Each structure stands twice: as structure tokens, then as C-alpha cells.
């Protein structure tokens, strides 16, 4: 199930299902409003994105209310997470998955909110997206993030990144599969339990925030995945940003974890994650990794219609 593409004049719904938008965020937040209004879009702001009754954000009920209301609202064509944070999984029990099935639309964000993107895909089959947060859009150093938003959601482009982006081959090979993923620490928590995602025959895209997850933490995430048989089930991995001061890469830590135990292709690029630039990556779309192809990774089917 894929959402409808954007057209100028559409309304974008802004929610904060992770951390709240704070006074310190308002300059960037308001600049992003002006940027998207200039692009021809209307904005609808969730009523709970600024509230903080817990001392660390809105309650789970308030966050879920905003998300469900945006999917219910017929005027809203895209649900855009304002920022990341730490506990978007708090709303898993409260998301109205049947409502989303009946009202499919674009949902996007990154970092902690990739938990919601992956869970909605898992529970409904709706293709969702990892991309720059709404607040962060105006803070990007170049137009890359904005152009990628327009390219994917308005123009329905199938290009992952740009021709100038550099891709590196970590482990050669060829594979096809449905792509899921996002923040590594989040994905490592979505592999077991009531709210887990099916990784069978999937291609994972993974990145991590080095200020919160040093190499030893990344190692722990990978070992948790290995101990739960993730690497015996997947078809391939696409690594994004991880700019730790040690210069240790995600690929190096994975190699220490799994060695040569598994035979799937691995590629790496610097165009998504807790870095600038960020391309827009669909969760739930079929892709191909082919390290012999000029394009190491390709979308094989449309992700908006």
C-alpha cells in the first residue's frame, strides 16, 4: 500500500511523537514553516507538539492523539514528524492501525521516529519514510534535504540520493528485498517482543548517532541482532552516517560482530542519518543492491502514486 504523492496546495500535518518542540526550537521550526509555505503547501500543527506535562514531553495519549487525528483529517496529505527524541515507541499500543489502513498517506521522520515508521509498515503494509525532520529542514547547510523531500514526495522520483553521492562497497554481492530500517539502536529494539518487525528477506538501511551510541554501544546492538538471528534472515545492508571521533565505522563494528559468517552484500554512503545531507528512504519498498552496477542500490517499485 503506497500513499498519494503531494501536490502544491496540499496540507502537511506536523506532529511530535517523540520529544516536544521547545522554545529553543522555534526559530528553526518557524523557518521550516515559511520554507514549505513558500513551496506552495499549507501547514496544520498538531495541538500537542509543544506540551510537556511529563517533564520529558507529551504523554503517550497526547502523542497518539495527534498522529491518529492527522490520519483521520481528510485535508492532511502528509504526516511529518517535527523532531526526534527517545520514546516514540510509547504510542505503539495507541496507534489506530485500522484508521491508517483506511486513510493511507505519507508519514516521515527520522532517528527515534523511525520506530513508528517501521511499526506502521509492519502493522498496515503502508510504505512510510525516513527523511529530515520538519524542524531540521531549515537548519540544513544546503538545499539537499529540501530538494530530496520535493523530489520524492512531489515529483515521485525513484532516485536514492543524487548522482554526486558516493557509495562504497563493504562486501560485494547482489540481493533484492523489501527495505526497512533507520536508527540502529531503534531497530535493535524492534526484533523481539509484541512489537517486533519481520526481518526475513529484508534489506536493512542503518545509521546511528555517535554522540549517544559510541562504538561499544553499537557493538551491543549488533550482537543483540546476531543473537536473535537477524543476520541469518536478511538479504543485505545499506549503512549511512556514523561520524564517531574514533573514526571507527559501522561496517568495522559489524565485521567484528559477524566476521564472514554470512553472505550478503553491504554498501555504505554518507547521505542519510544524523548527518547533513539526508536523502528520503522508503520503508516497505522493494530494492536491489548490486555492487557491480553503477547504481549500487535502486528502488524497484514506486513509493508514492
Of how many residues is the chain composed?
305
DSSP symbols for 17-40: SSSPP-GGGHHHHHHHHHHHHHTT
Strand duo 128-130 + 281-283: pairing = antiparallel
Domain at 11-154: CATH architecture: 3-Layer(aba) Sandwich (3.40)
Grid cell for residue 53: 506535562
The predicted structure's pLDDT at residue 141: 84
The predicted structure's pLDDT at residue 139: 87
Q: Are 17 and 133 in contact (CB under 8 A)?
A: no
The predicted structure's pLDDT at residue 260: 87
> What is the domain partition of the chain in residue ranges?
11-154, 167-299
CATH 3.50.30.60 fits 167-299, yes or no: yes
User: CA-CA distance, 37 to 12, in Å (whole number)?
Assistant: 10
pTM of the model: 0.95
The predicted structure's pLDDT at residue 248: 96
The predicted structure's pLDDT at residue 217: 97
**What are the pLDDT tens digits along the chain (305 aa)?**
999 999 999 999 999 999 999 999 999 999 999 999 999 999 999 999 999 999 999 999 999 999 999 999 999 999 999 999 999 999 999 999 999 999 999 999 999 999 999 999 999 999 999 999 999 999 888 899 999 999 999 999 999 999 999 999 999 999 999 999 999 999 999 999 999 999 999 999 999 999 999 999 999 999 999 999 999 999 999 999 999 999 999 999 999 999 989 999 999 999 999 998 999 999 999 999 999 999 999 999 999 99
Amino acid at each position: 500500500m503506497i500513499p498519494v504523492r503531494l501536490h502544491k496546495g496540499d496540507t502537511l500535518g506536523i506532529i511530535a511523537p517523540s520529544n516536544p518542540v521547545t522554545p529553543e526550537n522555534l526559530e528553526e521550526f518557524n523557518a521550516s514553516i515559511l520554507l514549505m509555505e513558500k513551496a506552495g503547501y499549507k501547514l496544520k500543527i498538531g495541538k500537542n507538539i509543544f506540551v510537556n506535562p511529563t517533564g520529558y514531553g507529551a504523554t503517550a495519549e497526547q502523542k497518539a492523539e495527534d498522529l491518529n487525528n492527522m490520519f483521520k483529517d481528510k485535508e492532511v496529505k502528509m504526516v511529518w514528524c517535527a523532531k526526534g527524541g527517545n520514546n516514540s515507541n510509547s504510542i505503539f499500543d495507541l496507534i489506530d492501525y485500522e484508521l491508517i489502513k483506511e486513510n493511507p498517506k505519507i508519514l516521515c521522520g527520522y532517528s527515534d521516529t523511525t520506530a513508528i515508521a517501521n511499526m506502521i509498515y509492519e502493522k498496515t503494509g503502508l510504505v512510510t519514510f525516513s527523511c529530515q525532520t520538519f524542524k531540521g529542514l531549515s537548519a540544513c547547510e544546503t538545499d539537499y534535504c529540501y530538494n530530496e523531500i520535493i523530489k520524492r514526495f512531489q515529483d515521485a522520483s525513484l532516485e536514492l540520493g543524487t548522482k554526486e553521492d558516493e557509495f562504497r562497497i563493504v562486501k560485494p554481492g547482489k540481493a533484492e528485498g523489501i527495505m526497512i530500517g533507520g536508527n540502529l539502536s531503534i531497530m535493535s529494539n524492534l526484533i523481539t517482543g509484541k512489537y517486533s518487525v519481520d526481518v526475513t528477506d529484508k534489506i536493512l538501511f542503518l545509521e546511528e548517532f555517535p554522540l549517544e551510541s559510541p562504538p561499544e554501544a553499537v557493538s551491543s546492538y549488533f550482537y543483540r541482532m546476531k543473537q536473535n538471528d537477524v543476520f541469518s534472515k536478511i538479504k543485505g545492508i545499506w549503512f549511512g552516517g556514523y561520524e564517531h571521533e574514533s573514526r571507527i565505522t559501522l561496517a568495522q563494528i559489524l565485521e567484528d560482530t559477524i566476521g564472514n559468517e554470512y553472505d550478503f552484500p553491504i554498501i555504505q554512503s554518507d547521505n542519510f542519518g544524523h548527518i547533513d545531507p539526508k536523502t528520503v528512504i522508503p520503508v516497505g519498498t522493494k530494492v536491489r543492491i548490486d555492487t557491480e552496477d553503477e547504481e549500487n542500490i535502486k528502488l524497484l517499485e514506486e513509493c508514492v502514486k
